[in-house]
Amino acid sequence: MRRREFVRILGGAAATWPLAAYTQTNAPILHIASVWFGDASSDTTLPGLQKGLQDLGYVDGDNVKVDPQYAYGSEERLGTLLANIVKTGEVDIIISSGTVVTRAVKKATATIPVVSLTGDPVGAGIVTSIARPGGNITGFTLTAGPEIAEKWLELLHEAFPGVSRVAVLWNSSNLFSGELFKKMEDAAGQLGFTLLSHEITQPTDFAFAFDAIPNEKVDAIVAETDPLIVAHRKEIVDFATMQRLPAIYGIRDYVAVGGLMSYDASLFEIWRRAATYVDRIAKGANPGDLPIQQPTKFDLTVNLRTARAISLAIPESFLQRADEVIK
Rounded CA gap, 280 and 268, in Å? 19
* Residue 25: band (very low, low, confident or very high) from pLDDT cuts 50, 70, 90: very low
Beta strand segments in the chain, E: 30-36, 64-70, 93-97, 114-118, 137-141, 165-170, 194-199, 220-223, 247-249, 261-265, 298-303, 324-326
Rounded CA gap, 171 and 226, in Å? 7
Partnered with residue 198 across adjacent β-strands are 169
pLDDT tens column, 196-233: 999 999 999 999 999 999 999 999 999 998 878 888 99
* H helix or E strand, kind and range, residue 136: none
Q: Residue 90 — left, alpha, or beta (φ > 0 → left; ψ -120 to 50 → alpha)?
A: alpha
Are the beta carbons of 107 and 84 closer than 8 angstroms? no
Rounded CA gap, 278 and 229, in Å? 30
* Residue 16: band (very low, low, confident or very high) from pLDDT cuts 50, 70, 90: very low
Domain boundaries, the chain: 3-142+266-296, 148-250
Q: What CATH superfamily classification does 148-250 receive?
A: Response regulator (3.40.50.2300)
% of the chain with per-residue pLDDT over 90 = 75
Question: Which of the following CATH numbers is that of domain 3-142+266-296: 3.40.50.970, 3.40.50.1370, 3.40.50.2300, 3.40.1160.10?
Answer: 3.40.50.2300
Averaged confidence pLDDT in the chain: 89
The domains spanning 3-142+266-296 and 148-250 adopt the same CATH topology: yes
